[in-house]
Amino acid sequence: MKSTIFNTIVAAGLGVLAACNPSAKEEIAKGDISANEISEEKLDFLGITDKDHLSAASKRALAWSDDLTNEWFGEFTVHDLKGDLAYEEGVVRRDPSALIKVDGKYFVWYSKSVGKTDGFAGDIENEKVFPWDRCDIWYATSEDGWTWKEEGIAVARGEKGAYDDRSVFTTEIMVHDGVYYLCYQTVKSPYNVRVKNQVGLAWSNSPYGPWTKSEEPILSPADNGIWKGDEDNRFLVEKKGDFDSHKVHDPCIIPYNGKFYLYYKGEQMGEAITFGGRQIRHGVAIADNPKGPYIKSKYNPISNSGHEICVWPHKDGIASLITTDGPEKNTVQLSKDGINFEIASVIPGAPHAIGLNRTLDTEEPFAIFEWGLTHKYHNYDWQYIRRFQGKRKTTHVAKGEVKNKEASDASDQSK
């Protein structure tokens, strides 16, 4: 049984499998294909000389693509912003959307709330249980991407009793045929531990608004899990249900192949901790119209790892940055059909909750990471938005060599 599970993991994604024949990948992973069928050049590159004794690691390496490159490998720095998006005590600004540029100005939308986080121990009806609780969606503009002006509320919480009356947060922007669309998470009061949030949509003919909200959510959690008992505990279940039976988070809509692909993060009832951390997976729902209806793919989940959704068009397909949770975290994954993703590269150090700059080149690897926005926890009560910058890394210097060089330089300067 352990061997079967291991081979399944190998075939599914611990190697870079993008360019291999699927049947060959499975045969190599299982050990059913002889190393004699692999080119001598590849064996030499991998340092494999004894074809009759292949470790599990060697079998995975043989299943890797033949065109491995370092095109997605790079490093990141993060910097404070100026103006209204600089750190402000008592205010939460987090989860920036992608950046777009209209009439010479960059636009970003984000979650904003005020007041400290109280958690679930107090008066849930009137207090704030998470930093993203009691949020509205605000937006800001900038001419240079460094100094930002907060323009005001774009989408506010709904009236009491509405599906979005408690909080609207973690938004993404899409522009299509001259119309601007914001998709976002919603929570209805009371915000208890077992609450099942949904996804809403708003649209406008201008990035400045006004915005029209969907009367009903466009996406909801699966309804096939069963809680155990009445205690407000999300880990107690009789049946876990689909990967998104508890929550649907971090929505992002991408126009693709004449349709609209709504990517989202799923949280399962009774969520487990696996060898990769939290049991977080991504899904996609597809519609013929930007306003829906969105139908979840039968192939969900489409990842076995990840956290915040970060997807973008890349060449003739879709790219996804997988971070934070799961056995395939810290990877870039590519798909030619928007559903089946394969690992293209490890990408360490990517900032959390990335707001991509959609004005940048999406064709060249790593170019999309030249700069964008992210958020930082000053502490659990206060978060703020910052700017990240990425640089492709093509060389490697051992850390000890760097330190020795710095020490040598310092010694030279003191003489």
> DSSP letters along 262-305, please?
EEEEEE-TT--EETTEE--EEEEEEESSTT---EE-TT----SS
Q: Is residue 415 included in any domain, yes or no?
A: no
Q: Are residues 230 and 349 in the same domain?
A: yes
pLDDT of amino acid 36:
60
Angle at 261 between CA 257 and CA 264, to 5 degrees: 155
**Coil vs helix vs strand at 89:** coil
Looking at 153-290, list the stretches that DSSP marks H as alpha helix, in order from N- to C-terminal side: none
Q: Is residue 406 included in any domain, yes or no?
A: no
pLDDT of amino acid 3:
36
Q: Are residues 40 and 116 in the same domain?
A: no
pLDDT of amino acid 394:
81
Q: Are residues 56 and 87 in the same domain?
A: no
Q: Are residues 149 and 175 in the same domain?
A: yes
Q: Among 62, 86, 110, identify where a domain stops.
A: 62
Q: Is residue 408 included in any domain, yes or no?
A: no
Q: Are residues 343 and 381 in the same domain?
A: yes
**Coil vs helix vs strand at 334:** strand
Residue 169 sits in a domain whose CATH number is: 2.115.10.20
Q: Are residues 15 and 114 in the same domain?
A: no
Q: With contact defined as beta carbons under 8 Å apart, do 131 and 118 qualify?
A: no
Rg of the Cα trace of the chain?
23
Q: Which of 244, 199, 201, 250 is nearest to 353 (CA)?
A: 250
Q: Is residue 368 included in any domain, yes or no?
A: yes
Number of domains the chain contains? 2
Half-sphere exposure (CA, 13 Å, Cβ side) for 69?
Answer: 8
Q: Are residues 117 and 169 in the same domain?
A: yes
Domain that holds residue 310: 74-392
Q: Are residues 58 and 79 in the same domain?
A: no
pLDDT of amino acid 34:
55
Q: Are residues 269 and 379 in the same domain?
A: yes
Q: Could you give the CA distance from residue 28 to residue 50 in angstroms, rounded to a whole number? A: 15
Q: Is residue 285 included in any domain, yes or no?
A: yes
Query: Across 307-364, where does the E strand assignment appear?
Result: 311-314, 317-322, 331-335, 342-346
Q: Are residues 257 and 281 in the same domain?
A: yes
What is the pTM for the complete model shown? 0.87
CB atoms within 10 A of CB 251: 25
What averages of pLDDT result for each successive group of 10 residues across the chain (415 residues)?
A: 34 38 46 63 89 90 78 93 98 98 98 94 87 97 98 97 98 98 97 96 98 98 96 95 97 97 97 90 98 98 96 96 94 96 91 96 94 96 97 77 47 36
Q: Is residue 67 included in any domain, yes or no?
A: no
Q: Are residues 17 and 92 in the same domain?
A: no
Q: Is residue 399 included in any domain, yes or no?
A: no
Q: Is residue 403 included in any domain, yes or no?
A: no
Kind of pairing between the strands at 82-83 and 147-155: parallel
Q: In the 8-state DSSP scheme, what is residue 205?
A: S
Q: Among 10, 42, 62, identify where a domain stops.
A: 62
Q: Are residues 358 and 387 in the same domain?
A: yes
